[in-house]
Amino acid sequence: MASIAKQPGGKWRARYRDSAGKEHAKHFARKTDAQHWLDEVTASVVTGMYVDPKAGKVTFKQYAEQWAGIQMHRPTTQDHVANVLKNHAYPAFGDRPINLIMPSDIGVWVKRMSLTLSPSFVGTIHGIVSGIFRSAIRDRRIVSNPCDGTKLPTPTKKEIVPPTTETIGKLVQGAPERWATLFTFAAGTGMRNGECLGLTRDRVDFLRRTVQVDRQMVTVVGRAPFLAPPKTRASVRTIPLPNVVVTALSEHVRVYDIAEDGLLFCDPSNKPISRTAFSARVWIPTVAAAKITDPIRFHDLRHYYASLLIRHGESIKTVQARLGHASAAETLDTYSHLWPDSDDRTREAIDSILGAPADSVRTERSS
């Protein structure tokens, strides 16, 4: 039921009842404005897009906390989202009603972040906040997503330059004795940092020379490191081990007397080590001892492994499977520049015929 009535003060009062029977009213200076508002409300009810004006009074922070609590996120993702909201979204509009945040507010916020943060990280933050607004639309708290149409900074993609074999050798030589095998292992398997630190002896088949990747060590603020499923389903994989890795692992197991279910790479007390502790106690000192001046991360050992597979002619699907990528597109997007250039193959194909001696060409024609 809807109606418009002129009030004693001269204003026009438009009112309607929603599907729950609750009355809503608004005053206008002109009758045409009141009718326009009422028509919009009626249309939204008919199309199923009606939103109770009071439903959007909840603050962005209140709704975001509710949203985060029901997401099926991995522990690391949950920790990441919480930090993004705390450090970048809440300071900007956490205390504002969610239905009063405008597209222009989002634009100003994005521009301000772009002054200090990388384009890719700004895009990540914007994506999380946009997801919260999309959920608010489904919950009938807002009509539209203020993040839609935001002009985001364009990320500049940098081609990956894998470390050289000489650099890998320096890392192995510069590492503390207990950790030297880890650097050989990471460069020879392409496993991620968490996958390496979560690897137990029973996942290595020394007879078949393979390693099973089905867990990773996870570090979350406020908790001791713990084992959890890998990054994605595709990350569960079996990797063939080269002889150099098998030899190094065998000696490592013997020297440190690692139990069948024991962690291969852990601290001297056989307890798991967090990624942050590993970086501070092992990685940074090793890079310094190796006298490597160019920026390098543990993840670059994974890139080194991928570059070796590509250099020796492995297919895209094989590289994808070894690295545990979700798709071949991800592999190509990361390493396409490392595959032999098609221009070079074109030149070789033509040169193999036109560049052959004349006698060879005539012989080929006669045959």
At residue 215, the pLDDT reads 95
- Assess whether pLDDT exceeds 50 at residue 153: yes
Q: Find the mean pLDDT for residues 228-256.
A: 94
Looking at the fold, whether 95 and 206 belong to one and the same domain comes out as: no
* In a domain? residue 67: yes
Q: What integer is the mean pLDDT of 152-156?
A: 90
The 8 Å CB, 24+ separation contacts for 73-77 are 74/218, 74/228, 74/229, 74/231, 75/218, 75/220, 75/228, 76/218, 76/219, 76/220
pLDDT at 340: 75
* Percent of the chain at pLDDT exceeding 90: 66
pLDDT (0 to 100) of residue 50: 58
Task: Let me know whether 71 and 14 are in one domain.
Answer: no
Residues 299 and 203 occupy one common structural domain: yes
Contact 283, 179 (CB under 8 A): no
C-alpha–C-alpha distance, residues 313 and 306, integer Å: 11
pLDDT, mean over the chain? 89
CB-CB neighbours of 77 under 10 Å: 12
What's the pLDDT score for residue 361? Answer: 46
Residue with structure tokens 């009938």? 140
Question: Is the pLDDT confidence value at 46 over 60?
Answer: no
In a domain, 358, yes or no: no
pLDDT over threshold 70, residue 367: no
265 within 8 A of 197, measured Cβ to Cβ: yes
The pLDDT assigned to 172 comes to 95
Is 272 in the same domain as 232? Answer: yes
- Comparing 102 with 341, the larger pLDDT belongs to 102
- Look at residue 135 in the predicted model and tell me its pLDDT: 94
Higher pLDDT, 238 or 139: 238
Task: Evaluate whether 3 touches 34 at the Cβ level (below 8 Å).
Answer: no
User: For residue 344, what pLDDT is reported?
Assistant: 66
Domain of residue 35, residue span: 2-50
Task: Give the closest residue to 331 by CA, choosing from 180, 339, 206.
Answer: 339
pLDDT tens digits for 68-78?
999 988 888 89
In a domain, 44, yes or no: yes
Same domain, residue pair 170 and 81: no
Residues 104-136 have pLDDT tens digits of: 999 999 999 999 999 999 999 999 999 999 999
Least confident range of 17-26, 134-143, 179-188: 17-26
Would you state the pLDDT for residue 110?
97
pLDDT at 69: 92
- Same domain? For 122 and 214 the reply is no
Whether 32 is covered by a domain: the verdict is yes
Say how many Å lie between the first and final Cα of the chain, rounded.
92
Predicted confidence (pLDDT) per residue in 175-218, tens digit: 999 999 999 999 999 999 999 999 999 999 999 999 999 999 99
Q: Is residue 132 part of a domain?
A: yes
Q: Are 61 and 104 contacting, i.e. CB atoms less than 8 angstroms apart?
A: no
Give the CATH number, domain containing residue 134.
1.10.150.130
Pair (187, 210) in one structural domain = yes
Model confidence band, residue 56 (pLDDT cutoffs 50, 70, 90): low
Domain count, the chain: 3
Q: Specify whether 119 is located in the same domain as 187.
A: no
Looking at the fold, whether 33 and 109 belong to one and the same domain comes out as no
Residue 362 in any domain: the answer is: no
Beta strands in the chain (DSSP E): 2-6, 12-17, 23-28, 204-205, 210-213, 216-218, 226-228, 237-240
Strand, coil or helix: 4: strand
Mean pLDDT of the 236-264 span: 96
Q: Is residue 344 part of a domain?
A: no
Q: What's 251's domain CATH number? A: 1.10.443.10
* Domain final residue, candidates 81, 103, 138: 138
Query: Domain check: are 306 and 198 in the same one?
Result: yes
Tokens representing 170 are 């320096």
102 located within any domain: yes
Q: Is the pLDDT of residue 330 over 60?
A: yes
pLDDT of residue 22: 76
Q: Are residues 105 and 230 in the same domain?
A: no
pTM above 0.85, yes or no: no
At 262-310, the pLDDT tens digits run 999 999 999 999 989 999 999 999 999 999 999 999 999 999 999 999 9
Residue 249 predicted with pLDDT over 60: yes
Q: Are 299 and 178 found together in one domain?
A: yes
How far is Cα 109 from Cα 124, in angstroms, rounded to an integer?
14
Query: What was the pLDDT predicted at 342?
Result: 62
Say if residue 64's pLDDT is above 60.
yes
